[in-house]
Structures are given as structure tokens and as C-alpha cells.
Amino acid sequence: MKILELYSGIGGMHTAFKKVVCAIDINPTANKVYAHNFPTTNSINGNIEGLTVNKIKKMNIDTVFMSPPCQPFTQLGLQLDIHDPRTKSFIYFLGILPELDIKRLLLENVRGFELSEVHNMFITTLKKCGFHYKEFMLSPNQLGEPNRRRRYYCVAKKEPFDEATVANLPQNDEIIQDPYTLEKILEDVTTDEYNVPIKMLLNKSKLFDIVYKDSNRSCCFTKSYGRYIEGSGSIFTPKTMAEVDDVYERLNENTQDEIDPETRIKIETELLKSLQFRFFTSREICRLMCFPEEFGFPASVTNRQRYTLLGNSINCKVVAELMKLL
């Protein structure tokens, strides 16, 4: 396959399949990370609407991978769908797709995309171009990874699918391989850099999704990880579940005791600090998302930027399994 990677981000799809002719994304930080990991690939910093039919034909590509902006469809967004300006570039590409000699296509997006007007436009265009297509809703925990990241995927090609290969993928919520425990992906963190801040401990500790070394699950990590707690990803503790339960029970008792507020806060702070809650490192999240160990970030990319980029990226193992269908 000779691949054009649209909305390339940090290169999750490239990681899953090495031969990419050209990649394009409008995010300069993502492009910096992409170039750092794939220096021989032609990586374009720009808008997809700048890719004309002639430019694409000159690339001599036959396959397109893409992960269009998800904000118009996400449950946490305004769900403006086709009316969101961020759908313009994707709609533009659908408009020129019939003029291109594309034989294979893979698309990823958030859950909810499948209910959108843009999705309807996408499927209509695939049919118009003579594609056979398969749609999936998959999460890496179904394939043996201890992370939940449920996403919509569509694979399309001009020739019929091998139904036996399709049947190898999970159906509905089926788990075809039990996930391993988080201990496998953990780093030896010796600094306080990833500790949950005291203010967040005191105000949000009841909202933490707490995981342990022996946990075989974690929540989806979003671009807000490290800044917000609700729905942004899991919090790790080296303590046991029994130790955590004991501290939370003591915290509950502390709220019922008649002590002055200053003393109560001091007690709560010490109790919560004893659990050593911390955020996952960017390397640990890379491992959960199945990026290879050699994948890295330039030193100039901050930790917050890394969380944002990973939150917008894909799980490489899921994509690799889908690529087998192509």
C-alpha cells in the first residue's frame, strides 16, 4: 500500500503500518513529534483543503488513512456536526474522493460519529465510489490491552472483504483476549512531577478513577489529562485497594468529627498524601496505546502537550488489526 495519512497527528496510524508516502496535519506541535519519529516521511504542515486532486495524484498513492477532528461529534462538545467549521476539510476531501484512484481507506473517530450527518455523507460517498466497507466500534480492552478507548472505525476497499478475517475481530462488546495488569507498563517514577496536586486531592479525590499495579483496566485518557479529573483518565497509586479503602473510610469519619476546619484539612491532606496518588506518565500512556518503545517526543514538547497529543491520538494495536482487513 502507498499511503496518504490525513490528520496525521503524532503518527499513530503510521506506527501501526510503516509505509506512509505523505502525511498532513495542521497542528505544528503534532507535526514536530511526527517528524521526530518518522524523519524520512514527507510531512506537510497545512490544511487538507490545500491538497488538490492533481497534488494527490502526483503522490501516486492508493490508500488513505485518516482521523478527522472529533470535536463536532464528541459527547462533551456542542455536537454541531456538519455545521461545525472543523468538518470543512473532511467534507472537502469527500468532495474530491470520486476523482481520486483510491483503492483502500481507513477512518477513525469518536463514538457518536456514526450518528452524524457527516457520517451519512461519508457512507454515501463510499457507495458512490464503489467501495465495500465495514464499520466497527472497538476498544483496546477487547484485544487484551488494559485501557478502554472505544472508537468508531471504518475500513473500505474496492474489492470484497474476506469475511473470515472480519470474523476475527470482536463483535459488539466481546472481549477476545483478557487484558494484562498495569504493572507491565509502569515506570519507576522517582520525582514529584506526576503527583496529584494537593488542591486536587482535597477537592476531587472522590472523583478519582483509581487503579493499581494489579488492575487490568484504565479509563480513556483525554487531552485534558493532568488538568482535569472528571472523565480524563485514571489515577495510579502504588498502595493496595485495602489501603485506599481504609484511608477513604477514615476521611469519611473525619468529616463527621467535630474539629475545626484547619485541623480537618491538615488531617485530610496527610491521609491523601499517604496514598501517593499520581498521574500516569506520557511513556506509560504510550504503552497503553500500544506505541512502540522507540516512539518518543522532542525535548521541547512539554508534558502537558504530550498529554494533549496522546489524548487526540489512536490505539495502534486496534488500527493494526483493522489494517489486516485491507
Which three cell numbers mark 75? 459527547
Closest CA to 268 of 291, 250, 256, 285: 250
State the Cα–Cα distance between residues 260 and 135, nearest whole angstrom: 58
pLDDT tens digits, the chain, 326 residues: what are they?
Answer: 899 999 999 999 999 887 899 999 999 999 999 999 999 999 999 999 999 999 999 999 999 999 998 887 876 666 777 778 888 999 999 999 999 999 999 999 999 999 989 999 999 999 999 999 999 999 999 999 999 999 999 999 999 999 999 999 998 899 999 999 999 999 999 999 999 999 999 999 999 999 999 999 999 999 999 999 998 999 999 999 999 999 999 998 876 667 788 888 999 999 999 999 999 999 999 999 999 999 999 999 999 999 999 999 999 999 999 999 99
Q: Where are the domains of the chain?
A: 3-175+316-323, 188-280
Closest CA to 63 of 33, 23, 25: 23
Q: How many CB atoms lie within 10 A of CB 142?
A: 22
Which residues carry out catalysis? 70
Closest CA to 179 of 188, 170, 187: 170
**Contact between 265 and 238 (Cβ < 8 Å):** no
Strand arrangement of the beta sheet that strand 104-110 belongs to: 42-45, 20-25, 3-6, 63-66, 104-110, 151-157, 132-138
**Contact between 146 and 215 (Cβ < 8 Å):** yes
CATH 3.40.50.150 fits 3-175+316-323, yes or no: yes
Amino acid found at 97: L
State the Cα–Cα distance between residues 25 and 312, nearest whole angstrom: 12
State the Cα–Cα distance between residues 114 and 108, nearest whole angstrom: 11
Its sign, for the CA torsion 248, 249, 250, 253, is positive
Which residues does 311 contact at the CB level (< 8 Å), separation at least 6?
221, 222, 223, 224, 225, 232
The yes-or-no answer to whether 3-175+316-323 and 188-280 have a common fold is: no
State the DSSP H helix or E strand holding residue 305, giving kind and residue range, or none if neither.
helix 303-311
Q: What is the reported pLDDT for 76? A: 66
**Contact between 286 and 11 (Cβ < 8 Å):** no
Q: What is the reported pLDDT for 237? A: 98
State the Cα–Cα distance between residues 323 and 326, nearest whole angstrom: 5
Question: What would be the CATH architecture of the domain defined by 188-280?
Answer: Alpha-Beta Complex (3.90)
Q: Given 3-state DSSP classes, what are the helix, strand and coil percentages for the chain, each rounded to the nearest 5?
A: 40, 15, 45
Q: What is the reported pLDDT for 81? A: 78
